[in-house]
Every structure is written in structure tokens, then in C-alpha cells.
Amino acid sequence: MDRNSVGQVTPKKFTFAQKGDPMVLESGRTLGPVDIVYETYGEPDDTRSNAVLICHALSGDAHAAGYHDVHDKRTGWWDTMIGPGKAFDTRKFWVICSNIIGGCKGSTGPSSINPETGEPYGLDFPIITIGDMVDTQKRLIDHLGISRLHAIVGGSMGGFQVLEWSLRYPEMVRSAISIAFCARLSAQGIAFNAVGRSAITSDPNWQNGHYYGEPGPQQGLAVARMIGHITYLSEFLMDSKFGRRLQSADRLSYDFSSEFAVESYLNHKGSTFTERFDANSYLYITKAMDYFDISRAYGPLAEAFAKATARYLFVTYSTDWLFPTEQSREIVRAMLSTGRDVSFVEIESGYGHDAFLIEVEKLDRILSSFLCGIVERDPTGESDERFVCQ
């Protein structure tokens, strides 16, 4: 076990929007009650000003660090970044991560019980947006007694949430760190999501979303994950890791079995994904990603960020072709044109979009430096107090 691990953690649950006071979503539909499952690492200081919110990507969840049981074989999805002496140093920061609304790891989503029917929501669950995800996180942060976040951090779809937080609740975000992200999905990104959803809804076991208690669209979800996983890797990584290597023999079988190593790898990724994720959640979350568009919600980028108050750090990866660096530079240029406080780093990496989950040493150094350099300015101008990092 990593001696700098946060150790054993216990998930918590916050419930709001009880009967008679439902949450109003961006679509105009309502939802309630709403459960949010979350984990915390480290301790709050006296004023709860050391809180750091971690936002997860599409297939992530609230379990970002540590382990739930001493027999767990795997730790949280960002365990390498959260803990004593790591980028999100739990000796200094109170780190929080919650499962998004629409997910399938405890927070309210399509697999949750609809109180009106006593059955899982299925497609009766309303369409949700990144903004809705942020609104539920805001309810949790209020519940925890936090008036302002020291930092909010996320990669991929988590990076979307970071941007939305900084624009929707600017007074609550001291610093914002978006990693492997963009201001909106490209047509290509939307296309990959659409094909993945089609794989699920074309599976005969999908049953129009009402498959709970039955086998469900396992094959369709596996194919969706295979498609998505291809976009997370770089061409360099796939070629260097697999090339055209055959899986078990040097001769061709002349049939449609999975002969190439890369085929077997994708089959494994797809199959294991079905063991931990709900197909309907995949539909809802990818649709929320498709809808995310800063310019549509807040106007042209320069105008959108003109009133932002956070100190920003943007990190991209040289071989990320899902969210290419140039798309992030577009935001940086817009912010600089209005005098926003923004730092930008492109990391040379062969790992593609998933580099922020895999190649963490460079990212750890960059984030550690940024977090320790955040300055909290006295609005009276009489003092300039730096957050203490020792």
C-alpha cells in the first residue's frame, strides 16, 4: 500500500430536493429527491477555506483516492494525485469528490428508483446538462459549509465542469484547473458519442431503457466503450503498444475472430466496463457532454470570461486528438484579450487524452506549484496574503 495514501475512506451521501421542493433542471423538468454520493480526504481548516473540489470524467465516480476495504485490489481513480505530499496534499487541503447526477455510482441517475413508480427511472429520467451537474455540486458545497473553494479541478468532462463552475458561480471559485478539455465538443467528438449511443440503443436487450433486473444491453455498452476508448489513446501509443502483433500465433486464422492484440485489448476494455457501468448512464452523460457549449450559454468566449474572477490553469497534451491543444488555446487567447489571470501548459506525452490519468509526474509538479502560488487578495487592497504551502 502506498505510504502516502489517504487510507481507508467511507463514502457519504447528501440528499436534497425532497418532496415538495424539487430541483429544476435546465430542460425545465424537475427532479427530486436527489442523492449525491461523495468522499472527502484531509480535514477542513477553521474557515473551510482549504477546500478543493475534484470533478471526474465520463466513467469516473466519487472514489478518487484511497480504498474502501483493506482487501480492495484497486485504489481511487486519482490516488496518485491525492494524499500526503502529492499535488492535492491532504495535509493542507480538504479534498472533495462527488459522483455526478446521472451517474450510476450512488448519485441519482437513470438506474435510481423513481419515487412516483417504485421502479428504476430508465428513460423516464430527465435529460441533464453539465450545468445541472454543477448545480448539484453547488448544493453539496453549500451543505458542507464552504463559502468559497480554494480550487476546483477536473480533466476531460471534469474540465467542462470546472469551466461551468467558474462562470456560473464566479464568486465561489478562487482557482480553476481544467485538464485535457475544450470549450465545446467538436463535430467529431459528438459523432463518436452518437455512434456509442447507437450501439447501446440498437442492442435488442436495451428494451427502450427498461432493462433493469434483466441482462441488459451488455454487448452494446461494450462496443460503446470500445469506441470511446479508442479516442482516449494516441496513435503513437496504440502502435507502440500493439502494432500489428497477433494475439496468439504468427499465422492468420482466416476467420472473424479477434486475432490482433489490439482487438483483444479493446474487447477486454469493453467487457470489464459493462461490469461497473450502467448503459443508460452512458447515454445521459454523453448527451450532457454534447450539449456543453460555453459560447451558446454565455456568449463569445472573450465576453463569457470577461467577468470571471478565478485564477485559471489550463493543461493539455500534445497527442490528445479528442480535445486537441488548439481548441484550448482558443479559450486562452480569449481570456488574455480581456486581461484574465490564466496560465497554460501543453505537456509532451505519447499517451493521448488519458495522459492525465496515467502520466502523472509532470502534472503533479505543475499542479503543486500552481496551488501553492494562489494568492488571496484583500478587497481593501491593504494586504496580499498568500495561501501557505510548506
Whether this prediction's pTM lies above 0.85 is answered by yes
Mean pLDDT for all residues in the chain:
93
| pLDDT tens digits, one per residue of 119-177 | 999 999 999 999 999 999 999 999 999 999 999 999 999 999 999 999 999 999 999 99
Domain C-terminal end among 291, 307, 336:
291
Task: Tell me what pLDDT residue 258 has.
Answer: 87
Domain C-terminal end among 291, 308, 331:
291
Task: Tell me what pLDDT residue 45 has.
Answer: 96
173-201 burial code (b ≥16 CB/10 A, e <16): bbbbbbbbbbbbbeeebbebbeebbebbb
The one catalytic residue in 56, 63, 150, 353 is 353
Closest CA to 42 of 73, 3, 5, 80: 5
Compute the average pLDDT of residues 61-80: 94
Look at the block and give the residue holding cell 484574465: 340
| pLDDT tens digits, one per residue of 198-252 | 999 999 999 999 999 999 999 999 999 999 999 999 999 999 999 998 987 778 8
Domain C-terminal end among 291, 314, 344:
291
* Catalytic residue status for 320: yes
Do 266 and 315 lie in one domain? The reply is: no
Task: Tell me what pLDDT residue 141 has.
Answer: 98
Do 164 and 305 lie in one domain? The reply is: yes
Query: Does a structural domain hold residue 4?
Result: no
Compute the average pLDDT of residues 380-386: 37
Compute the average pLDDT of residues 340-367: 94
Task: Tell me what pLDDT residue 3 has.
Answer: 75
| Run of H or E residues at 196 | helix 187-201
Rounded Cα distance, 193 and 374, in Å: 36
Do 193 and 180 lie in one domain? The reply is: no
Strand 151-155 and strand 175-179: pairing?
parallel
Q: Domain span at residue 231?
A: 186-291
| pLDDT tens digits, one per residue of 252-285 | 888 888 889 999 999 999 999 999 999 999 999 9
The one catalytic residue in 98, 156, 166, 328 is 156
| Number of folded domains that form the chain | 2
In this structure, the chain runs to a length of 390
- 22 Cβ contact partners less than 8 Å away, ≥ 6 residues apart: 30, 31, 32
Task: Tell me what pLDDT residue 377 has.
Answer: 44
Compute the average pLDDT of residues 75-94: 96
Q: What is the CATH number of the domain that holds 205?
A: 1.10.1740.110
Do 155 and 232 lie in one domain? The reply is: no
Do 69 and 96 lie in one domain? The reply is: yes
The one catalytic residue in 79, 135, 278, 320 is 320
Do 30 and 128 lie in one domain? The reply is: yes
